[in-house]
Amino acid sequence: MKTACGFLLMASCLLPSAYCHPAQTSRELTSQGKKPVAILDINRATVEDFATLPGIGPELARRIVAYRAKHGPFRRVEDLLAIKGMGHKKWRAIRPYVRAEASPTRVGGG
């Protein structure tokens, strides 16, 4: 009886720790085709760079780059919201990983 109580006590202490694990490791992200993200300058990032961001697939990444090519550099990160497929929820998810640096200006006009 004493052994059974000890076993049950030990099992009840270990059971909760079986459910404690990180949401996603960098290895899991890589196996899903997503690399751990770094802060990207949205005015210089490539399609491949954008596709590393959470929730951004290759199609949306292509749309972002095409929008930038057509309309010029982004002035603010919020400008990404003008792109079809970029909703507020997705924008909030990528916001910590992006910035909009001023594009290089040409000197001398030629």
pLDDT per residue as tens digits for the range 18-74: 444 433 434 444 445 555 557 999 999 999 999 999 999 999 999 999 999 999 999
Average pLDDT, the chain: 77
Average pLDDT over residues 10-23: 48
List C-alpha distances in Å: 43 to 31, 48, 58, 85, 91.
28, 14, 17, 19, 16
What is the spatial distance between Cα 36 and Cα 94, in angstroms, rounded to a whole number? 12
Domains of the chain: 24-99 (1.10.150.320)
pTM for the structure as a whole: 0.62
